[in-house]
Amino acid sequence: MNTQKTALITGATSGIGRATAEIFAKNGIDLILCGRRKEKLEEVKKELEKSVKVITLLFDVSDREAVFSAINSLPEEWKKALNLVVNNAGNAHGLDLFQDASQDDFDAMINSNVKGLLNVSKAVIPLLIENTSGHIVNVGSIAGKEVYPGGSVYCATKHAVEALSKGMRMDLLSQGIKVTNIAPGAVETEFSLVRFKGDTKKADSVYQGFEPLVAEDIADAIYFAISRPDHVQIADMTIFPKAQASINLFERKDN
């Protein structure tokens, strides 16, 4: 069995994806960094290739043809080395009630959060099977376990990630491939800025009055999951900041 780990990470240019790449590199894991922003990918590559081997793939996870083309373009030595996949790319758009929300926002979330995970997983799983070992980490959300007003479609996409993680774990059992679902609560990244279409004031208000998680907290959890002994599979992990008790219950303090 290949003991050297090589990880493919989607959404690797910022937030949880970048933090995961950083902790993986710190622990000697070679990296296939995937993202939509070429300059950002090259920036992360330049930083991390001082420690490990790094290659980049430029694609949007929602574009099936681009996903398969990029992954098929990997040099053979990288294909044969791949044994870790972190499906991190995803987004939220808007916080309107269902009856007022934009269907373009619905499509964007479904295409990225669900179809994107399907596209990448279908492209890489044959490589994991051929390499006779592997571990897939799907970055879900507490929104995959609970629902809140204004979040119906986003929550639906993350419920899909939860179901896909369970189903993939069952289907890949005979292949010896582990599947882990990571469900973060409130994490301060670019997430809210994207959700509110660049409205910094709205994005900042999400985290007012308490200390949220940061990307590195989730990256630590991902590394913990993938660094367990071979016979140990972390199936599901939910991570909250101390001030959070459920999807929308927070202990906020006045500033």
Tell me which of 5, 79, 115, 158 is the catalytic residue: 158
Question: What b/e readout covers 74-97, taking b as 16+ CB neighbours within 10 angstroms?
Answer: beeebbebbbbbbbbbbbbbbbee
Angstrom distances, CA of residue 24 to CA of 21, 49, 194: 5, 12, 26
Tokens of 70: 């990029």
The active-site residue out of 154, 178, 202, 207 is: 154
Q: Cα separation of 23 and 223, whole Å? A: 7
- In terms of Cβ atoms closer than 10 Å to its own Cβ (0-12, 13-18, 19+), residue 135 is buried
Tell me, yes or no, if 201 is annotated catalytic: no
Catalytic status, residue 158: yes
Active site residues: 154, 158
